[in-house]
Amino acid sequence: MPGARRKWSWAGASLGAGLIVLGCSGEDSSRPDCIELGSSCEPLYLPEFQAVFDNTLSRTCAQAGGACHSAEGHHGGLVFTDIDQSYALLLGQDGGKARVKPGNASCSELIVRLESVGEDWQMPPGTALPARERCSIRRWVELGAPRQ
């Protein structure tokens, strides 16, 4: 069975290399466009963009020192250091790709990535945001993703 062991080792090495390459980008062709969301969740904070930005985007996603969406590491074209720019980028108001579909959390890329715990395309990579924090962002999108 030495051949089988080599195949397994090669597969493991390929998977490991793929995850290293993915890093913050989390790109995966198998990522669904939409997901099924449960009907209820308990938000950690008010589902308002100011709270989403202050509590999650700038704190978790844009902290300096190699964070995926900092000024240094603007993966996927997203930088979460300025609240107005962050909002425009998420909603595609800058001419780029919209990651949020107001009123449609199930098909918003931001929510698909946040809620896909354990998948290669999960955001943030590694440890998922707590369920209540994800709920706050989801509720903001469901409410139409208002800026105020």
Condensed to tens digits (0 to 9), the pLDDT of residues 74-130 reads 677 788 889 999 999 999 998 889 999 999 999 999 999 999 988 998 988 888 999
User: Percent of the chain, pLDDT > 70?
Assistant: 75
Rounded CA separation 1/5 (Å): 7
Say if CB 132 and CB 40 are below 8 A apart: no
- Per-residue pLDDT, 63: 76
pLDDT category at 29 given cuts 50, 70, 90 is low
Q: Which helix (H) or strand (E) holds 133?
A: helix 131-142
Mean of pLDDT over the chain: 80
3-state secondary structure 4-68: HHHHHHHHHHHHHHHHHHHCCCCCCCCCCCCCCCCCCCCCCCCCCHHHHHHHHHHHHHCCCCCCC
In whole angstroms, what is the distance from residue 73 CA to residue 81 CA? 11
Three-class DSSP category at 90: helix
**pLDDT band at 14, cuts 50/70/90?**
very low
Residues 23, 69 contacting (CB under 8 angstroms): no
pLDDT at position 2: 42
Q: State how far the Cα of 145 lies from the Cα of 67, in Å rounded to an integer.
A: 24
The pLDDT of residue 51 is 97
Q: The tokens of 101 are what?
A: 């579909």
